[in-house]
Structure 1
Amino acid sequence: MIFSRKRADEARHARDERTTEVLDTEETGDPTPPARGPYDVSEAPDEPRLDLGSLQIPAVPEVEVRVQADPQGVIQQVVLVHGESALQLGVFAAPRSEGIWDEVREEIRQSLFNDGAAAQEVEGEYGTELRARVRTPDGLTDLRFVGVDGPRWMVRGVYQGGAATDPAAAGPLALCLSGLVVDRGQEAKPVREPLPLRLPREVAEQQAAEQQAAGQPPAPGQREA
C-alpha cells in the first residue's frame, strides 16, 4: 500500500487556504528548456503521454499506472508501479516568486517525527530528499520523499519499496518522473492546493458505459489507466 499523510495534509491545507496566489502578468523572456523534467507544459518535448489533466505521464515500458478516482472521474491518487517499487505522485499550486519544497519537506519531517519516525535529509537527483522508515499495517516501510519546484507548481513524489532505499533501483519509475509534464493552468489558486487530476475522457466514458450495461451505479475504486 502507499503510505498517506492525510492528517498532516489536511492541516496544511487549512492553513494555506488563506494564502492565495496572485497571478503575475509581467512579460518574461523565453527560458532555456530544461534538460530533463518534470517539465512545465510550455517547455515539454513532444512525446506520447497519458493525459491526467494537470499531470501528463510518459509511456515507459513495464510501468503500471494505477489511479483511484471518484464516480465523476476526478482522480484522488496516482501511483506508478514497477516490480516491487512504487512512486506516488502529487502536484500542487505554488507561488511564482519562490519554491515551496523546502518548507513542505520540513513539515513532512516534523510530522513524521511526531508520529515516532525519524527522517533523514539526503542529497538526491533533484536536491534535498527525505528518507524515513515508518510503521504501517503491513509492517515497517521505507519511504523516500522527492520534491521538484516548477513555475507556480510543485511535484511531490514518494518512492516505496526498493527504490526508496536505493535510488539506482528506481529505474523506469525515475524515467517517469523525469519525463513528467505539469499543466498548471492560468487560474489563481491557493498555495499548496492540489492541482486537479482527471481520468482521460475515453477511459471515463468506457467505464460509465460498462457500468450502465451491467446495471450498476458508478462507484469509486482502484482503476488502471
Structure 2
Amino acid sequence: MGLFSRRHHDAGGEAAAQEESVPEEPVEAGTGPWDVDAVPADSAPAGRIDLGALRVPAVDGMQIRMERAGRDADASAAVLILGGSTLELRAFAAPRTAGIWEELRADITAELSRAKATYEVVDGEWGTEILAQVPVRTPEGRAATVAARFIGVDGPRWFLRGVLQGPAATDADAARPLREVFANTVVVRDGAARPPREILPLHAPGVTKAPEAEDLPGLDPLQPGPTIAEVR
C-alpha cells in the first residue's frame, strides 16, 4: 500500500469530524515498537534484520520486500510477508514534542473516502486503528474489495505506521505473528534535520545478530515487488 504517505489538504473535513469522537489512548509504557535507545535486551531472541531506519525481528519463514516510489528511488517501506498475510512498515520523522498519528489518520480516511472505500475507526492494541475495505480489480478484471488495517505509534521524534493485509487485517489469530513483529520493531531515527512526516530512509535487508537473509525470486501473495528476502 503505497498510498496515504503525504498530507493532502482537501476533502478531509468529514474524515476529521469522525476522528474527533474517538478518544486517544496512550500507548502503555514499556511496550514496543522500540526506539533504538530504549530496546530491551531480550525483546528479539533471534536478532533483528537491519533495514536502515527500521530493524525488524528475525522470524523463521518471513519474507521481506522493499517498496520504492521509482526505479532509482530509495526504499520507503518494508513489506513483511508471513503466514499468508502482509505487514507494511513505514517510518516518518515527527516533531520532538508532538505526535502525528491523529492528523495522519484524517489524511488516510480522506484518501479512503476518495477511493470509495468503506472504513471504521476502532480501538486496537496501540490505540486507534482504521479498518478499511478497499475496492480493487482482480487480475481477471472483476470488482472486489480487500481488507486493510492501519496501525500507528508515535515515538520520540518518529512515527511508525503499519498496514495489515490478508487474513491478518480482520482475524486476530492470523494477525498475532505480525503484530508481534510490529511490537518488537526498532525505529532508528538518525540525527539529520528532517521536517515532520518525511519518510525515514530504508535499505535492502542486512542482518545484525540474526540468521542470514537469502535473496529469493518469489512474490508477495498480494503484490509483486522488486526486492524479496526470506529469513531462515
Preserved contact between residue 64 and residue 82 of structure 1 (Cα < 8 Å) = yes
CA drift of 1:44 comes to 0.7
Structure 1: runs of 5 or more not aligned: 14-32, 208-219
**Structure 1 residues 63-142: aligned runs within 5 Å:** 63-68=62-67, 74-138=74-138, 139-142=144-147
Mean CA deviation greater in 164-173 or 127-136:
164-173
CA drift of 1:72 comes to 7.0
Paired with 1:56 and 1:34, the residues of 2 have a C-alpha distance of 20
CA drift of 1:168 comes to 3.0
CA drift of 1:166 comes to 1.9
1:35 matched to 2:14? The reply is no
Preserved contact between residue 90 and residue 155 of structure 1 (Cα < 8 Å) = yes
Mean CA deviation greater in 112-121 or 59-68:
59-68
Where is the helix percentage greater, Structure 1 or Structure 2?
1
1:4 aligns with 2
1:55 maps to a residue whose letter is L
Paired with 1:201 and 1:132, the residues of 2 have a C-alpha distance of 33
Preserved contact between residue 63 and residue 173 of structure 1 (Cα < 8 Å) = no
Paired with 1:61 and 1:118, the residues of 2 have a C-alpha distance of 34
Mean CA deviation greater in 169-178 or 90-99:
169-178
**Structure 1 residues 11-22: aligned runs within 5 Å:** 12=8
CA drift of 1:71 comes to 7.1
Structure 2: runs of 5 or more not aligned: 10-27, 139-143, 208-213, 216-224
CA drift of 1:198 comes to 1.1
Preserved contact between residue 67 and residue 224 of structure 1 (Cα < 8 Å) = no
1:29 aligns with none
Paired with 2:39 and 2:54, the residues of 1 have a C-alpha distance of 12
One of 39, 42, 60 as aligned partner of 1:44: 39
Count of residue pairs brought into register by the alignment: 187
RMSD of Structure 2 on Structure 1 (CA): 2.6
Q: Structure 1 residues 201, 71: closer, same or farther in 2, change over 3 A?
A: farther
SS in 1 for 2:117: coil
In our comparison, the structure showing a higher alpha carbon Rg is 1
2:19 aligns with none
SS in 1 for 2:5: helix
Q: Structure 1 residues 186, 44: closer, same or farther in 2, change over 3 A?
A: same
CA drift of 1:74 comes to 3.4
2:121 maps to a residue whose letter is E
2:157 aligns with 152
Output the TM-score relative to the length of structure 2. 0.72
1:116 maps to a residue whose letter is K
| 4+ long deviations beyond 3 Å | 8-13, 68-74
Q: Structure 1 residues 196, 58: closer, same or farther in 2, change over 3 A?
A: same
Q: Structure 1 residues 72, 108: closer, same or farther in 2, change over 3 A?
A: closer
What fraction of aligned residue pairs are identical, expressed as a percent?
Answer: 40
